[in-house]
Every structure is written in C-alpha cells, then in structure tokens.
Amino acid sequence: MSKFLKSTAILAALSLSATPVLAEKMGLGRAALPEEVAAWNGEISADGTGLPEGSGDAIVGEEIFATKCAACHGDFAEGIDNWPKLAGGADTLDHDDPLKTVGSYWPYLSTAYDYIKRSMPYGNAGTLTDDETYAIVAYILYSNDLIEDDFVLSKETFFDVEMPNADGFIVDDRAEAEYAIWSGEPCMENCKPEPVKVTMRAMVLDVTPQEEGEEEAAAEPVQEVVVAQAEPAAEEGAAEPVVVTAAFDEALAAEGEKVFRKCKSCHQVGEGAKNRVGPILNAVVGADAGAVDGFKYSKALMEMAEGGLVWSEAELAAFLEKPKAYMKGTKMSFAGLKKEEDQLAVIEYLKSFGN
C-alpha cells in the first residue's frame, strides 16, 4: 500500500472514531466540557447579546486595518480587485447595480463584529483580540461616514451607531405566502413571443463590447482651461496680465475619476466638499502645500510646506506613487498608485476642480 493510501486510511479511521459511539468503544476522546464549548461560542446576536468587553476607535483601527485587512479590502475599505468593498454605496440600493457594503446594505452592526471576529483576517481567522475587532469595525464605520474618527466603539456605545439600512429587511414569509403558488406543473402558456432581445448588459463585469462609434465618442477633443492667473497690473499702462493655461484632457480625467475611487474614503472634491481623514482637494494642482483651511496637517507636511513645497503635477505624481517614501511621517496611509498612468489620470481629474 502506498504512503498516500495508508495516510488516507488512517484519516478515515480517525474520522470514524470521532463519532461519540465509536470514540467510546475505542477509548478515544471525551465530550466537550461546557466551559470548552463556551470558549468557542462567539456568537453575537442582532440585539447585542454576546458582545464582549473592550473598545476601539477609528484612529487605532486605521493602523490595524492597514496591517491586517488592506491587502484585500484596500487601505480605505474600497476593495481591491474582486475582494469585497466595505465602504461606499450610499443611496445605491435602488440602482440597477447597487453597491452593497457595511454602510449601505448591512442592517445590523453586530453582523460586522461577529463576522470579523470569527472569520478574519483571511488565512488567520480568530486571531484578532476584542479590542482590535472593535477598532476595525470603528474604522469601517468611519470609512462609511457613520461615525467620527474619535468615536469609541464598545459594548456600551454599539447601538449609538445608526445603520442606514436598519429598516431595509423584512421577515422571510415565502414558505407560507408563496411556495404554494410555485408548486405544480409549469403552465407553458403566454410565453414571450420571439424574437427575444437583450435588454440588459453585463457592464458591471466590464465584458460588454462597445457599440460602434462609442470609442470615437469617448475621445473628446483636448480643451484649454485656465488653471492660474497672473497678478493684476500694479499701475496704469502696464502690460496686460498673462493668463497661464494648460491642456486639459477630458478623456484622461474620466479615467482619473475611476482611479479616484481609491481616494474617496479620505478626500472629497467638488461643491460642498469637506475635510475628512484627508483635506479637500479642490484647486490642489499648482497650490501651496498645507493650504487648506481647517485641516490639521502632519508635522512632516507642514515642514515641507514651510520649505516652499508646491503641488505641481510632478510633485503630486511623486507623492502619489509612494506617499510614505516621498514624505517621511505623513499621516496618509495609502500605499500609493504604482502605475504612472493612474497618477496622471488622477491629477487630470483633480484639475477639473479648480476652485
């Protein structure tokens, strides 16, 4: 008998002996003690039953998340590749392609704590402490704009958090209300007449080919936009003020909007933008570093700002490539945009928010 077959036979015998009756006959094992069962029973109910003692906030949670969760879920809970997005999706549940995240879809916060404590991090499940789990959940809530960064999540404050979709679920009564309707033979009448047409496309999978002419329409002409103006003439008769313009690539900016999704958890742009973990980025291209009112910058950035740092396109690209290498001591935990085309696209997108 080969080593593989011998090993398989041994494993099969052990699995059989694990049943209570066989274990008793063979003198192997014993029934688990109540305290041993309790040690493994980490169930947490929707009403908070089972929540442990402990606490954590988003500030601590950001560091833990970056170390233990970001490899799959992104630095800002935005998801990487096909790994789940944990933040975003507000007001999308009635869309054709809703984004279901902890913030937009989950009705109970206890589900997040229970799942993370029981199943995460991937490949090393069950290793998080209660405090670490509270901190990670707090960071996910913060990434969804549901709490402030200094809100301390604990057993006592757990239900101070309002989940946006708390009333979005109903009791599943299909067994009583609908199953009887579905039983029996299919009628096979009044079927849809031919020809059957495609009414939806798998855009979410990015597998739908473009229609003829779409590629040409996407290539918008390059426009000229004002990004800075010289100081007005100091005295009469002086030369006309020079308007400095830069080419604006609308197609590239559209690509940058997609890449900017990695930044949206911390930075806002556009009308009504507010400072979050990071400052608003309106008019950042060409601006002096550290110039956003009301935002508390890191000591490292302020030192470079005092040294005359200006966010030119070149400086922004260098920073975006690897923030921590560019600026030792930066508060920005984002790993960076490795691809030059992504850096250029984001910068082009930011140009469209000139004020």
Share of the chain above pLDDT 90, in %: 37
Rg (CA), the chain: 28
The kind and range of the H/E element at 64 are: helix 58-68
Mean pLDDT within 220-239: 44
219 contacts 315 by C-beta, under 8 angstroms: no
CA angle 178, 184, 186 (to 5 degrees): 100
CA 38 to CA 42: how far, in whole Å?
Answer: 8
Element (H, E) at 154: strand 153-154
Q: Which pTM was predicted?
A: 0.49
- pLDDT for the residue numbered 118: 92
* 53-160 and 223-231+241-351 share one fold: yes
pLDDT score of 31: 87
**What DSSP letter does each residue of 210-249 carry, written as one string?**
PPTTHHHHHSPPPEEEEEEEPPPPSSTTPPPPPEEEEEE-
Q: How many CA atoms lie within 13 A of 174 on its CB side?
A: 5
Give 102's Cβ-side CA count (13 Å radius): 28
User: Residue 221 has what pLDDT?
Assistant: 43
Domain segments of the chain as ranges = 3-39, 53-160, 223-231+241-351
CATH class of 223-231+241-351: mainly alpha
Say whether pLDDT at 19 is over 50: yes
Contact yes or no for 289/309 (Cβ under 8 A) = yes
Write down the pLDDT at residue 225. Answer: 42
Interhelix angle 340-351/250-259, nearest 10 degrees: 110
Cα 174 to Cα 275: distance, rounded to the nearest angstrom: 46
Residue 220's identity, in one-letter code, is E
Neighbours of 82 (CB within 10 A): 6
Cα–Cα distance between 112 and 61 in angstroms, integer? 14
Tens-place pLDDT, residues 258-314: 888 878 767 888 888 888 778 989 999 989 999 898 888 888 889 999 999 999 999
Q: What is the pLDDT of residue 267?
A: 87
pLDDT band at 229 (very low <50, low <70, confident <90, very high): very low
Of 324 and 243, the structure prediction assigns the larger pLDDT to: 324
Nearest to 150 by CA among 64, 212, 58, 74: 58
Q: Mind giving me the DSSP string for 262-274?
A: GTTTT---STT--
As a whole number of angstroms, the distance between CA 341 and CA 332 comes to 21
Class of domain 53-160 as given by CATH: mainly alpha
pLDDT at 265: 67
Cα separation, 106 vs 140, in Å, equals 12
Span 71-118, pLDDT tens digits: 899 888 988 888 899 999 988 999 988 999 999 999 999 999 999 999
CB 165 within 8 A of CB 107: yes
Residues 6+ apart with CB under 8 A from 234: none
Residue type, 140: I
